[in-house]
Amino acid sequence: MEEFLKTGERIFALERMFNKREGFGRKDDTLPERLLKEPMPEGPAKGMVHPLEEMLKVYYEKRGYDEEGHPTEENLKELELICIVGLPCHVRAVRHLQHIKFELAPAIKFVIGLFCMANFEYEQMSRWIKERGMEMKDVEKMSTSKGFFNANTGDTKLSIPLKETEARHSKHCQACDDYSTELADISIGSDGSKERWSSVIIRTESGEEVFSELKSKGYIRTKWHYNFLASQNQVVS
């Protein structure tokens, strides 16, 4: 139940942060004019109108928001709001935002990085696949393995030597030197792993914590894979 309530708080805080970004705040937390100006005609509250300012003050305090009705840094930290999954370049951007103390930074609890060798422009890739007799809309899975780029429709598999794909990499990828998301808490990728398994590099204490918990709850199966730069890695399915 506690976790359920916390999830609600997280959703609400995220909405309030979105509002903040769009310029909404205390002035927009209001009630219909009738409730603020027309006294209640009968009942226990007869003659009263809603004391909006007083109500907002108490409400923001209870929620842990600031005077403008926005979640505070403390509040976001407590809610442990966000897990980010991204490519190495995304994760670098996230770490940079944390470094410069971007507003939502305290809410970022965990970062998962995916292995990435390169990215392709979608339009270019579609044309390229079409030239080889396959339609992009039919492709169910794309992967790289053992020096080949593979596109799979379920019935048909197209394999192209990676060397041939290099000229089609996005330009920014040609200057990228981070394959395994070195700044993530956990890095995951299936390159070089057996079918239905992924290689995992645990990089931080929180990465270790989350991974152990997933393992102990039976959400993942693990087995030792190989030594990688003298450190141990596990494979997960």
CA 61 vs CA 5, 16, 64, 72, 202: distances in Å: 17, 14, 5, 11, 39
- DSSP calls for 78-141: HHT-EEEEE-HHHHHHHHHHHHTT-TTGGGEEEEEEE--S--B-HHHHHHHHHHTT--GGG--E
The number of angstroms, rounded, from the C-alpha of 86 to the middle of its chain's C-alpha atoms is 7
- 82-86 and 157-161 strand pairing: unpaired
Shortest Å, Cβ 63 to ligand SF4? 38
Name the token pair of 219.
Answer: 């959400």
Shortest Å, Cβ 88 to ligand SF4? 4
The number of angstroms, rounded, from the C-alpha of 145 to the middle of its chain's C-alpha atoms is 26
Shortest Å, Cβ 16 to ligand SF4? 31
Shortest Å, Cβ 201 to ligand SF4? 15
Interface ranges with ligand SF4 (CB under 6 A)? 87-89, 116, 118-119, 170, 172-173, 176
The residue among 174 and 227 lying less far from ligand SF4, judged by its C-beta, is 174
In the sheet that 186-189 helps form, which strands lie side by side, from edge to edge? Answer: 82-86, 108-114, 186-189, 198-202, 231-236, 222-228
Give the CA count within 13 Å in the CB-facing half-sphere of 102: 13
Shortest Å, Cβ 59 to ligand SF4? 43
The residue among 108 and 114 lying less far from ligand SF4, judged by its C-beta, is 114
Name the token pair of 36.
Answer: 């603020």
The residue among 136 and 173 lying less far from ligand SF4, judged by its C-beta, is 173
The residue among 88 and 189 lying less far from ligand SF4, judged by its C-beta, is 88
Any bridge partners for residue 83, and if so which?
110
The residue among 99 and 171 lying less far from ligand SF4, judged by its C-beta, is 171
The residue among 76 and 87 lying less far from ligand SF4, judged by its C-beta, is 87
Q: What is the Cα–Cα distance from 237 to 234, expressed in whole angstroms?
A: 10
Shortest Å, Cβ 58 to ligand SF4? 47
The residue among 85 and 173 lying less far from ligand SF4, judged by its C-beta, is 173
